A and B are shown apart, each in its own frame.
Chain A
Amino acid sequence: MTVRAAQGILALVCLLASSALAQTTDSRRSGFEDMSPQSQALQKDDTANPGMLSVLDGEALWSTKAGSAGKSCADCHQDATTSMKGVAARYPAFSTEHNRPLDLQGRINACRETKQQATPFAWESKELLALSAYVGKQSRGMPITPPDDPRLEPFRKRGEALYSQRLGQLNFSCANCHDDNPGQKLASAVIPQGHPTGYPLYRLEWQSLGSLQRRFRGCLVGVRAEPYPYGAQEYVELELFMMSRAKGMQVETPAVRP
């Protein structure tokens, strides 16, 4: 079935469904719901959630002066608990300077480079993860709110196409697992719907905090595809699509996942 045909049918089904019911139920589930009660309890306990260690590191970095400009994040953005509230919930966002969307990590590194005149953090470095976790946590509990920015649309569409693109030796697309088979088991793990509600998150499998890009790469390796390098535009576009797919769901950063 072509993507267009599937989209057409999906649109028709949605139209029928919404007209048939006075009040539609949101069938979207966060991966939180698919976890064991112990992992859920771990995520909710700020005194035990290992992701909070990164948040604390991020808090310290926020006030650390860096680069030849000798500035810290706080010098421009003051108190993150105010200035960063809701920011992660509306990322990826369009960057006029770059003429394309940036994800939160890309934005942090762009600030580092242009405003602090410091070397950008390496992808998946402890520092970049810590700052993303700290900024992300300021949106915790808030609904994912993709920006209403028409400039993002062509990129979101590319992300949507990538989501349905079969890849790798196993020839699976994201949709094959996360749209067609959520709730089923893949070698004893529950397949989630795949909403990026809690990134960066502490994954028990990784024994550390990791970014959405790391998770994407894990999935790509899982279908035996060559993963795009860290920082690839494909990841930003995919995240852009997935955040619009998760619109309205609550941010959980820093989440815990198995």
Chain B
Amino acid sequence: MSGFGSSHLSRRAALAAGSGALAALVVRPAQATTQTMQAAIDAFTGGAAITQGKVTMDIPPLVENGNSVPLTITVDSPMTDEDFVKTIAVFNERNPQPNIGTFHLNARSGRAFVSTRIRLGDSQSIVAVAQMSDGSLWSGSVELIVTLPACVEN
């Protein structure tokens, strides 16, 4: 029997074996790229300028399972009738499609807050763009590492 103990199998070898086996088993759909993500962001913003800031994403940087990743987005905004977040659009870099979700808030939302669970097909960046009531655009992003579980089920 092949040496299974951790002393014999280096971590790199185990990772390579795991991901290699996975690639052999799974037919990979075409992945989104940084360009398709940018195109999707442009479609949302109409090409207008985005300022980095105000948008915070709470998501585990090391993802346990890409099938279900908790994501909470908050935006620094007073959420008054005069100044509130209208829309939060979330994008990803390497899933088959660049969009994750678009959330529509309003002046009575109380807090610029939304929480959900998303799917991540690979280690990648995700970007959230918030459009304010005055039309200005703000964004935040995170870099994530997605580890896949060991036994891929039949």
Residues in chain A within 8 A of chain B (CB atoms) = 35-39, 41-42, 166, 170-172, 176, 180-181, 184-189, 204-207, 218-219, 221-222, 258
Residue contact B153 to A205, C-beta cutoff 8 Å = yes
Choice from A38, A185, A206 contacting B70 with Cβ under 8 Å: A38
B-side binding surface: helix, strand, loop or mixed?
loop
Choice from A170, A181, A188, A258 contacting B5 with Cβ under 8 Å: A181
A222 to B150, CA, bound (A): 9
B residues less than 8 Å from A204 (CB atoms): 64-65, 67-68
Q: Top 9 closest A-B pairs, CB basis?
A: A187-B18, A222-B151, A188-B147, A204-B65, A186-B150, A258-B65, A187-B150, A189-B150, A189-B149
B residues less than 8 Å from A186 (CB atoms): 14, 18, 150-151
Query: What are 25 A-B pairs at a CB distance below 8 A?
Result: A38-B60, A38-B64, A38-B70, A39-B64, A41-B70, A42-B70, A171-B1, A172-B4, A181-B4, A185-B14, A186-B151, A187-B15, A187-B19, A188-B147, A188-B149, A188-B150, A204-B67, A205-B67, A205-B149, A205-B153, A219-B151, A221-B151, A222-B150, A222-B151, A258-B149
Mark interface residues in B33-73 (1 if CB within 8 Å of A CB, else 0).
00000000000000000000000000010101101101000
Beyond A171-B1, A187-B15, A205-B149, 7 additional contacts (C-beta under 8 Å) are A166-B1, A184-B6, A185-B14, A189-B150, A204-B65, A204-B68, A221-B153
A residues less than 8 Å from B70 (CB atoms): 38, 41-42
A residues less than 8 Å from B67 (CB atoms): 204-205, 207
Mark interface residues in B126-154 (1 if CB within 8 Å of A CB, else 0).
00000000000000000000011111011
B residues less than 8 Å from A35 (CB atoms): 64
Residue contact B65 to A221, C-beta cutoff 8 Å = no
The chain B residue sitting closest to A257, CB to CB, is: B65
A residues less than 8 Å from B11 (CB atoms): 185
A residues less than 8 Å from B5 (CB atoms): 180-181
Residue contact B150 to A258, C-beta cutoff 8 Å = no
The chain B residue sitting closest to A206, CB to CB, is: B153
Asked if A218 meets B151 with Cβ closer than 8 Å, knowing A185-B14, A204-B67, A258-B64, the reply is yes
A170 to B70, CA, bound (A): 35
A163 to B77, CA, bound (A): 57
Most buried by B among A39, A41, A176, A205: A205
A residues less than 8 Å from B114 (CB atoms): none
A residues less than 8 Å from B1 (CB atoms): 166, 170-172
B17 within 8 Å of A (CB atoms): yes
A189 to B15, CA, bound (A): 10
Residue contact B60 to A36, C-beta cutoff 8 Å = yes
The chain B residue sitting closest to A210, CB to CB, is: B153
